[in-house]
Amino acid sequence: MFQTLFAMYPTLQETMLALKQGRTTSVALTEAALEKAKNPAGEGKRVFTKLYEKQALAAARASDTLRAAGIFRSPIDGIPISIKDLFDVQGETTLAGSMARIGEPAATRNATVVQRLLTAGAVIVGRTNMVEFAYSGLGINPHYGTPLNPWDRSKARIPGGSSSGAGVSVTDGMSVAAIGSDTGGSVRIPAALCGIAGFKPSACRVSTDGVLPLSTQLDSIGPLAASVRCCATLDAIMSGLDITSDAQWQAAQLKGLRMAVPKTVVLDQMDKHVQVTFEKALDVLKLAGMEIEEIDVPEFSQLAEINAKGGFSAAEAWAWHRDLIARAGNKYDPRVLSRIMRGQTMTAADYIDLLGARKSWIRAVEKRVLPYDGLLMPTVPVVAPTVEEVTSSDEAYFAINALMLRNPSFINFLDGCALSIPCHEPGTAPVGLMVAGLNGVDSQILAIGMAIEDLLRARY
């Protein structure tokens, strides 16, 4: 059952405090997460493609032993965390939500992000389900099932994707936080639709070594969790930053911040609930002293034409998948396969033109955005539709998918960073407020996001 905003999910900080005070143990947390994941009446069978029950419990026991000896590895030591089925784990084949990779060679080492989580003492409970090969923002997976959104579950609404299982693993208590990937919104979309926080860092911030690619130009790795502070903690660990300093987890001062709301495209096709919720959130921020201006960003209206031949995702996915498609193309989700196949017709000249167009586009957008501390926009313009709505036809699927990806993908193409923060009133459909910035201002956006989150928590 979907509960109330900000009152439903434990944060990393709350969980760590409970561990330090002896009110719980890592083993107890892990057993509870696994129990929920294995519950036949729950979403676990659709949330996870693989559970690490034995390994997770062993890691939890080790964490409890170290804590008893006064050894504290990190702010996530002993806490259950899930990883998207896109990251290499030594000795396993990375399936990426597909049947086509069954039997492919196993990974010889852990992905960098996985290793950093393990080194920090995270208890990895399992691999989460996803859109096959991360190529959609809806969360539909015909091979392993589609986890259902926690909101209005009786109507079987989509969780958002591609990090679908990641989002639901957090909302359903199967992990305290989750790690996903974001190529066009695949962390922020499920965060927005499921009512949690999600962070897409600047692409170069977190290593993609050992992560099965969708687009090497656009891929980024980010967390989904109960709060912005949770996301900041995980981002610091995955980025290899100094986690002994508290400075990176301090909120900004909202008064005097100058933020821009792009009028071009991003406010189009909003449903009434998202529109009203977004406008109320802006009013709250203005009352707190934030200066918010609506601006034109005509470059946003040009992006569809720039990507008309398929964009980086199609070109780079085709380059990676062509041999696998030749061997096992009949095992792909047809809707994913059709998008990959668009890259087959793109030429080297098309790709080079796209690289040049992106550089010019980024320069133009940066010129408009530089006077501001960040951008504000709805993460997605509509509430979560039902699985039936999006799978009723190919036309419906691709139209809704394009709408879901539209706003988040601007930031990926910009090579920027962005948060999705819940901004809906308690008991209503989840709505995400996207707080975005240019490349490299990740710490600033996280600090602004913390301040916004604190304000909304106080209000709701």
Our answer to whether residue 98 is catalytic in this structure is no
pLDDT average, residue stretch 234-246? 87
Catalytically annotated residue among 186, 202, 420, 443: 186
Name the residue type at position 268.
D
Of the pLDDT bands very low, low, confident and very high (cuts 50, 70, 90), residue 242 is confident
**Model pTM score:** 0.97
At 63 the pLDDT is 98
Provide CB contacts within 8 A for 133, sequence distance 6+: 96, 97, 98, 212, 214, 317, 321, 336, 340
- The reported pLDDT for the residue numbered 246 is 59
Asked about 45 being catalytic, the answer comes back as no
Query: So where are the chain's domains?
Result: 12-302+350-459, 307-348
Give the model's pLDDT for residue 248. 63
Alpha-carbon gap, residue 320 to 336, rounded angstroms = 14
User: Exactly one of 36, 74, 82, 84 is catalytic; which is it?
Assistant: 84
DSSP class of residue 147 equals: P
Structure tokens at 344: 């087959």
Among 433, 435, 453, 445, residue whose Cα is nearest residue 270: 433
pLDDT digits (tens, 9 = 90+) for 130-189: 999 999 999 999 999 999 999 999 999 999 999 999 999 999 999 999 999 999 999 999
pLDDT in tens, 76-98: 999 999 999 999 999 999 999 99
Closest CA to 443 of 257, 184, 199: 199
Between 2 and 395, whose confidence is greater? 395
Q: What's the whole-number mean pLDDT along residues 348-360? A: 98
pLDDT at 316: 98
| Percentage of residues of the chain with pLDDT beyond 70 | 97
E-state strands within 148-262: 177-182, 197-200, 220-225, 258-262
Residue 30 has pLDDT above 70, yes or no: yes
User: 367 φ, ψ to 5°?
Assistant: -60, -35
Given this model, what pLDDT does residue 3 score?
44
What integer pLDDT is reported at residue 4 of this predicted model?
A: 42
Beta bridge partners of 80: 123
Distance in angstroms (rounded) separating the CA atoms of residues 147 and 82: 15
Superfamily of domain 12-302+350-459: Amidase signature (AS) domain (3.90.1300.10)
Write down the pLDDT at residue 247: 54
CA angle 313, 317, 320 (to 5 degrees): 150
pLDDT at 8: 76
Average pLDDT, integer, range 247-257: 85
Q: Which of 74, 98, 162, 202 is catalytic?
A: 162
Instruction: Tell how strand 417-422 and strand 197-200 pair up.
Output: antiparallel
Catalytic, 84? Answer yes
Region 2-24: what's the mean pLDDT?
83
